[in-house]
């Protein structure tokens, strides 16, 4: 995970772990994760993307007054420091943050991210030289190979609950898109389920027997289906009786070559890894 603890021009920007914060702090908060964050949090404003703000309000009960929304690709001034948020191509709502302090030494914090063609086309890199790059090095290993990023996590096994529909509403889907989703498991053959449901065949068998499906096909996204000593392939297939599970190459982090390309693109003077 990409902890965010940056001190610029006398201002502290913090994120990811809120458990250690003292009651008298007044830092600016940009969350990259929610560990330790509860509805009683009153230590500063939480700047975040619109999707993250909706999720934090819905799931944690943080008041909207404490959730200033940051628009992508728009520069704003927070406590004398210019900040620009960029799409991190990670989980929905995730952002990279460009800090431009008065001394001109810009800092780019990727947090968890995956490099993309869209990032390479940004004119920002020429307009703002990066002094320090704080980089997500989750898969910074030349021996590591991963497949393409698959966005959908789909399985024919469990119901789509009303709670999940509320989460989808936070992601900004249009009314037209929302018509494709239902919380009635009898009306759809495609069901989105937690990862742990797909990991063990025993759970899949239980779901299958409960709902009397004649065939269950599960797609299990994983960043570890290909790697050193393994041939690249669309994914492995496992089968037990009428249950089939496919391991689909998937990752929301950059692999080594993608990290190398991103560093070449940004050309920072200094690089440090996310803590």
**Domain boundaries of the chain, sorted by first residue:** 4-141+254-273, 162-249
Comparing 17-21, 111-115, 182-186, the range with the smallest average pLDDT is: 17-21
Does domain 4-141+254-273 fall under CATH 1.10.1240.10? My reply is no
Find which of 18-22, 182-186, 217-221, 257-261 is predicted with most confidence, using mean pLDDT. Answer: 257-261
For all residues of the chain together, what is the average pLDDT? 76
Per-residue pLDDT, 220: 80
CB 14 within 8 A of CB 45: no
Percent of the chain with pLDDT over 70: 67
Q: How far apart are the first and last CA of the chain?
A: 7
Per-residue pLDDT, 160: 44
218 vs 168 pLDDT, higher one: 218
Per-residue pLDDT, averaged over 117-138, amounts to: 91
Architecture of domain 162-249: 3-Layer(aba) Sandwich (3.40)
CB 80 within 8 A of CB 9: yes
Residue-wise pLDDT for 139-178, tens only, equals: 887 765 554 443 333 333 334 455 666 677 777 778 888 8
- Provide the whole-model pTM: 0.72
CB 240 within 8 A of CB 213: no
């Amino acid at each position: 995970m990409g902890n965010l603890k940056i001190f610029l021009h006398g201002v502290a920007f913090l994120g990811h772990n809120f458990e250690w914060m003292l009651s008298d702090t007044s830092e600016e908060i940009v969350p990259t994760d929610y560990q330790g964050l509860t509805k009683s949090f009153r230590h500063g404003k939480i700047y975040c993307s619109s999707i993250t703000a909706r999720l934090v309000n819905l799931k944690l009960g943080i008041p909207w007054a404490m959730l200033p929304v940051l628009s992508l690709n728009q520069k704003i001034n927070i406590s004398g420091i210019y900040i620009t948020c960029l799409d991190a191509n990670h989980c929905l709502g995730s952002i990279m943050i460009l800090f431009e302090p008065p001394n001109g030494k810009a800092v780019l914090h990727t947090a968890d991210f995956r490099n993309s063609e869209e990032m390479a086309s940004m004119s920002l890199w020429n307009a703002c030289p990066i002094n320090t790059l704080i980089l997500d090095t989750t898969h910074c290993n030349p021996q590591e190979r991963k497949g393409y990023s698959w966005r959908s996590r789909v399985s024919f096994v469990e119901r789509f609950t009303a709670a999940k529909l509320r989460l989808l509403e936070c992601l900004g889907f249009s009314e037209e898109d929302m018509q494709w989703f239902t919380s009635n498991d009898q009306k759809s053959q495609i069901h989105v389920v937690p990862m742990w449901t797909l990991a063990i065949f025993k759970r899949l068998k239980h779901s299958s027997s409960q709902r009397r499906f004649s065939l269950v096909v599960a797609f299990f996204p994983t960043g570890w289906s290909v790697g050193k000593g393994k041939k690249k392939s669309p994914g492995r297939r496992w089968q037990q009786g009428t249950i089939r599970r496919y391991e689909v190459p998937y990752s929301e982090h950059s692999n080594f070559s993608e990290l190398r390309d991103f560093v070449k693109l940004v050309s920072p003077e200094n690089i440090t890894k996310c803590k």
